[in-house]
Structure 1
Amino acid sequence: MKIVAMIPARYEASRFPGKLMKNLGGKPVIVRTYESALQTQLFDEVYIVTDSEIISEEITKIGGKVIMSQKEHDCGSDRIAEAVENMSVDIVINVQGDEPFIDATSLSKLIDVFKVDNKKEVDLASLKVKITEEEEIKNPNNVKVITDTRNFAIYFSRSVIPYHRDTDINVSYFKHKGVYAFRKEALMDFYTTPMTPLEKAEKIEAIRYLEVGKKIKMVETQIDSIGIDTPDDLEKAIKKLNS
């Protein structure tokens, strides 16, 4: 089973433009992420997939592998799909470019999903982490996920899900971590399907997979790495790096 890591890296980000090139302890965020992926030693190959010459030059400078996107893309999955379309690979791991602290343990759990999936029931796997702070639960930048009894995703939302109507019942909330492991076939099906209505409304690409009937296995992790979506997130990342 050939496993590759693809790190989509778009320079222009609506909430925090140029965030992947921001300085994080003497190195750009995207370099930190690339090096973290390499250090896990879980992948046959690791690539940065980008439309930015600035990012490409930075990764090339450290001897990294870069694939330049030839088309405009609305999301990371589309960007990765174009990159792997003609590659002979089995499992593709999407490591978000703004997740410099992703850990080997969590990535290994995702890969293990496919190693034991003899019936090929799982189309893709992704990570979730339990959250308890009200501010985190209500924050629309944190995508929440609800699952069935077998930990397959039912829905993702920026809203608070589930809605805690009966306060006598304990409810757990989970944040979706934007790290995916795809079977290549599922990724290519996604690529050839137009953006779906709920995906457009929520701006969450995982929803497209659900809307076209793909099965997403959610894997719980206790490690909540810092995704850099805002300048405040960058400050948190700098503190974590220096701690």
Structure 2
Amino acid sequence: MLAIGIIPARYASTRLPGKPLVDLGGQSMIERVVRQAEKSSLSRVVVATDDQRILEHVRGFGGEAVLTRPDHPSGTDRVRDAYEQLNAAADCIVNIQGDEPFIHPSQIDALVELFAVPAPPALATLVKPVISAEELFSPHLPKVVLDGRGRALYFSRHPLPYQRQHPQSEWLTHHRYLRHIGLYAYRPDVLRAITQLPPSPLELAESLEQLRWLEAGYPIQTAETELETIGIDTPEDVERALRLMKNVGLSS
């Protein structure tokens, strides 16, 4: 079983320019992501970047990185570009978010394990139980509904399902909601195919790339995690992450 992890990392960011290089307690954010991914069962971990500064930084701490085209519309396209440059065979490719320095190795392994079967899925992603009303009603935290086999039926920024018979304040009491965690794994042939698809109507409506794949007929298998992930998009998120690291005694 050969699984390659690829971490897309752009320098440009509207709210936090140079985000991958931000210092988090003595290590850059991208180094913390790489180090966490290296603790998993992945056979190889590679950073896919559009910026020479990030490329040199990753190679400087002993990581592997490739330079991709600067005009990719999504992280998925950047992952495909990097994978093709590697010229390596793999059973699955894991797309690891470059702005989640606290990703847990077991979350990566949960997806990799889905591909260690005779008939592996086309794509896979992570879901997590919703535990608060703040999570449930936040449009920044997409929700997902599954079929009986754990495959995604739909992703939405709105809580799904809508419980007509109960007030919204009681929705969590009467139904187990799931939140989407943006960690993906693909078979190589499927990665090539989905990056050739045009944007779809549902994707454009919700601004969720994975809806394009569902509309095209690609089933998305899910694995469940109880662990929280913390994405960093703003200077305020950096301060929050530093406070968390201090509280748990995490440093370089």
Report the TM-score, using the length of structure 1 for normalisation: 0.92
Q: Distance in 1 between matches of 2:82 and 2:199?
A: 19
The 5 Å alignment of 1:71-82 reads 72-82=71-81
Distance across 1 between alignment mates of 2:54 and 2:13: 13
After superposition, the C-alpha distances for 1:87-110 in whole angstroms (9 at most, x for unaligned) are 322210111001111112221111
1:129 aligned partner: 128
Report the secondary structure of 2:159's partner residue.
Answer: coil
Cα deviation 1:91-132 (Å, max 9, x = unaligned)? 10111001111112221111111113x234x11111111112
Q: Which amino acid aligns with 2:13?
A: A
User: What is the root-mean-square deviation of aligned Cα atoms in Å?
Assistant: 1.8
Contact kept? 1:77, 1:205, Cα under 8 Å: no
Q: Tell me, yes or no, if the aligned pair for 1:78 and 1:190 is still in contact at 8 Å.
A: no
Work out whether residues 143 and 160 of structure 2, in 8 Å CA contact, stay in contact via their aligned partners in 1: yes
Contact 1:129–1:220 under 8 Å retained in 2: yes
Secondary structure of residue in 2 paired with 1:72: coil
Contact 2:7-2:48 at 8 Å conserved across structures: yes
> AA paired with 1:210?
L
Paired amino acid for 1:9: A
Shift of 1:239: 2.2
Q: Counterparts in 2 of 1:73-222, with a 5 A limit?
A: 73-85=72-84, 86-116=87-117, 118-120=118-120, 122-167=121-166, 170-222=174-226
State the alpha-carbon separation in 2 of the partners of residues 2 and 196 from structure 1: 32
- Structure 2 letter corresponding to 1:7: I
Change in Cα spacing, 1:235 to 1:175, as seen in structure 2 (3 Å) is farther
Partner Cα distance (1:15, 1:139) in 2: 19
Alpha-carbon separation, structure 1, partners of 2:51 and 2:140 = 24
CA apart distance, 1:225: 1.7
Q: Is the 8 A contact 2:37 2:108 kept in 1?
A: no
Q: In structure 2, do the counterparts of structure 1 residues 14 and 200 end up closer, same or farther at CA, with 3 Å as the change threshold? A: farther
After TM superposition, the structure 1 stretch with the greater mean CA deviation from structure 2, 22-31 or 80-89, is 80-89
- Where structure 1 has 5 or more consecutive residues not aligned to the other structure, the ranges are none
Q: Which one of 221, 226, 229 corresponds to residue 230 of structure 2?
A: 226
**Superposition deviation, residue 17 in structure 1:** 3.2
Report how far residue 79 of structure 1 moved: 0.7
Identity of aligned residues (%): 38
What TM-score do you get using the length of structure 2 for normalisation?
Answer: 0.89
Determine the structure 2 residue equivalent to 1:10.
Answer: 10
Local SS of the residue matching 1:34: helix
Specify every segment of 5 or more residues in structure 2 that has no aligned partner in the other structure, as ranges: none
Q: In structure 2, what residue type is equivalent to 1:157?
A: S
Deviates more, 1:136-145 or 1:82-91: 82-91
Distance in 1 between residues matched to 2:16 and 2:177, nearest whole Å: 26
2:43 is equivalent to residue 39 of structure 1: no
- Report if aligned partners of 2:145, 2:153 keep a CA contact under 8 Å in 1: yes
The yes-or-no answer on 1:19 pairing with 2:23 is no
